[in-house]
Structure 1
């Protein structure tokens, strides 16, 4: 392995990667569709509940990230708790979720541009799932993906600095919408928050799964913990803080759009918040909302594209994937082979285009719920097996993280049961899931040939406490 991972992500850089990684793009213009289906109350209150769930789940990540400040985050937690099976399960769930969302971003970038320049959706095309994919749109998505790849390739420090700049712009623009929305709008535009045809309880509940997809990305704090230059005890706080910041941002901006203009009228529009501020007489703020969609796309794309290769790198360092993916650039300190693999996988999925958007979001939501729940079981087992292991962040009791994990597991199970409000789409999404499971099982079968792990997989301060042979024995 050439070179080593460099410790050059600052505290603010880590917060920006966490919170900025959560704040995505589509939420600010798809709220017109969500308002129509769930009501303004269904989306906003559902998002608040999903945020509370994410905070509960993050308490497990927060504690474990200060004990195991290693690249890969939950991959390492899974190994310490359940051996290689646990590491692969955790890594495969998170990696599948991240790849689904990254593939969504390839298409989303061209979708955003086409709202201003509809002429890009002309010329040669092919069809997937009954939807046209124009080559010009695909080329734009590929170009944007390559830019994100290059920023990540040249080091975590550059990624962190770019993320800080983009995140600051996001905050400034978001505060502008919130300030004007609440000072110039009124509660009458928001209330009643549901239409007469919408059931309040089911509308809120049904939005939780897509909301969980919106809230994905804060896990990157734990995944990239090894590359920070801050005390370990602060990493756990950043994990929780990232969700709180992102949730407040989402809910305040969405609520401001329902405050400034009647949400039921926004529900009939095409671009949600963007159209709402324009219709309310604030065209400049409409442009701000459009800029937020681009910035959110960039911050999420950048953060998840940084985290995904670290998951592959960690799986390889644990001899679960080929050791070729442990190669690190001697100058930039980035896992180069893992980055190239992520690029190939994202572009390989991204060509599916707009017809696969629902698949990407649903699979991302299911897999992230699975990964969130698993972190709780990792914490419970590590507390049982290694009671003396402590980090800078420790839950006084495990009621809250356990509750979060069980709820997340319940949501994941409901997606597998046909006929529930959050079920996967039959048969396409079940087939995709089956393929991903088979690939994971093949990876595990290959890894069994070498039961050892790299000496620095867990961290030098834990190698003497957790014997890799003992951890591996728990597989059998």
Structure 2
């Protein structure tokens, strides 16, 4: 069984303590400029409002189905609820594919930034495939290994990057409050919200990874919701601080820091030389690898739950006799990740070169994943009042006003981040509707099968 602190560090590792030092930090800086710390702060606070619904639901519903079981308990509509299950699956798969590519990409740009060595691209591809392979082994063997790894690596990451960020701020002559003024954003509100979408929202969405672990957690009706709040408080403060350290450390040289999309390495090397930079680089590689491996377990459990409910073939719900893992679902996630990495890399790298091709693929994955994250948060937020009304526990301020405010901010973020995207990022205009149609089509095809619908799962509190 997963303990409370196991859940907290599982969420922390999926959010990824190394993220603001690399891709989520670099992408937020690329689009929002010096206001990147503000995108993480506002993005985190918005999700904190949105987490009210998840917090309340988690106290009543404990299921491997996670988010979609919340909606199902409210409306008992298979198209509505099971679609949310697919949305979450799309989020996790996009994250696994993107994070696997990130490992190879960051190895490449890291070596280029630090020592000017250009790693042969074939090795970059090989490194990108390492993550799914390790995920397959860890996921197949059982989640208990992931819990122990999450706590150990999470503590090391937090301590290392906090110490490094403090050291950068102490030396930087560019500290100030200008990084928290939205008017300083690149490309106005579009740049700010796009930076929020591909930065903070991508990172913080990882908190929900523990929702699908309810059936494997100790006292899930209390431990899940407390772990969500604890992990979010820690990571909103931590990520904002680390992003601030990198932006303030770069100061007027931010464009130079973004030249190879590795601002954390650039700033660290500028102030503390090669030895510390190499240490930061290797800590990131280990953290990114473990983060993706752990998050993959959430995808497998979502597949398992959808299969158990009859939406997917029952083979995905098979549990290993010895290890207790949903091993067919684990293998399926591995295969999808391998295919996604290959089919994503080939065309984009061919047309845009290695560096920009991989970067565009990462951003596309981030936009798709974040959009689906925000969509299912809106659905859950606006479902909560109906659920609490059914329980005769409705409190308008807590259950209607706060989640609706969060949904409004989320809607604004989606709108401003998606308008005016140029090619190839504009591919998301086709990818997102296509995935929605695919999810509805699967549910429609399986409509005559025995589909399990839970009107309520778990204890009332």
**TM-score above 0.5:** yes
Q: Deviations over 1:131-177 (max 9, x none)?
A: xxx44322222122211221122111111111111101111102211
Q: Are 2:11 and 1:18 equivalent residues in the alignment? A: yes
Q: CA deviation at 1:403?
A: 1.6
TM-score under structure 1 length normalisation? 0.82
- Asked whether the 8 Å contact 1:51–1:215 carries over to 2, the reply is yes
Contact between 1:217 and 1:300, CA under 8 Å: does it hold in 2?
Answer: no
Partner in structure 2 of residue 453 of structure 1? 452
Report the more deviating stretch, 425-434 or 191-200. 191-200
**Contact 1:38/1:207 (CA < 8 Å) preserved in 2?**
yes
Shift of 1:274: 1.4
Counting only pairs closer than 5 Å after superposition, residues 194-205 of structure 1 correspond to structure 2 as 198=186, 203-205=191-193
The Cα of 1:87 is off from its aligned counterpart by 2.1
Describe the shift of the 1:322–1:17 C-alpha distance in structure 2 as closer, same or farther (beyond 3 A).
same
Q: CA deviation at 1:315?
A: 1.3
The residue number in structure 2 matching 1:75 is 68
Match of 1:403 among 402, 405, 417: 405
Cα distance change on mapping 1:458 and 1:220 into 2, 3 Å? farther
- Aligned counterpart in structure 1 of residue 195 of structure 2, from 207, 212, 215: 207
Matched, 1:84 2:78: yes
**Does the CA contact (< 8 Å) of 2:107 and 2:285 recur in 1?**
no
Q: CA deviation at 1:378?
A: 2.6
- The answer as to 2:412 corresponding to 1:375 is no
Distance change (3 Å), C-alpha of 1:317 and 1:388: farther
Matches of 2:422 and 2:411 in 1, distance apart? 14
Change (3 A) 1:327 1:199: closer
Alignment of 1:168-207 (within 5 A): 168-186=155-173, 188-190=174-176, 192-193=178-179, 198=186, 203-207=191-195
Describe how 1:46-445 pairs up with structure 2 within 5 A. Answer: 46-82=39-75, 83-115=77-109, 121-122=119-120, 134-186=121-173, 188-190=174-176, 192-193=178-179, 198=186, 203-210=191-198, 211-230=200-219, 232-259=221-248, 261-269=249-257, 270=260, 271-351=262-342, 352-353=344-345, 354=358, 356-387=361-392, 396-413=398-415, 418-419=419-420, 428-445=427-444
Does the Cα contact within 8 Å between 2:139 and 2:296 map onto a contact in 1?
A: yes
Q: Check 1:440–1:35 CA distance in 2 against 1; reply closer, same or farther (3 A cut).
A: closer
Inter-partner Cα distance in structure 2 for 1:342 and 1:157: 19
- The whole-number CA distance in structure 2 between the counterparts of 1:221 and 1:197 is 33
Distance 1:197 1:427, change over 3 A: closer
Give the distance between the partners of 1:36 and 1:426, measured in 2 at CA: 14
Classify 1:315/1:414 alpha carbon distance in 2 versus 1 (closer, same or farther; 3 Å).
farther
**How big is the alpha-carbon RMSD for the aligned residues of Structure 1 and Structure 2?**
3.1
* SS in structure 2 at match of 1:280: helix
Displacement after TM superposition at 1:309 (Å):
1.1
Contiguous gaps of at least 5 residues in structure 2: 346-357
CA distance in 2, matches of 1:342, 1:395: 40
Structure 2 Cα separation of the partners of residues 50 and 205 of structure 1: 9
TM-aligned CA deviation for residue 280 of structure 1: 1.6
Q: 1:347 to 1:253 in 2, by over 3 A?
A: same
Deviation, 1:38, is 2.6
Question: So what's the TM-score if we normalise by structure 2?
Answer: 0.85
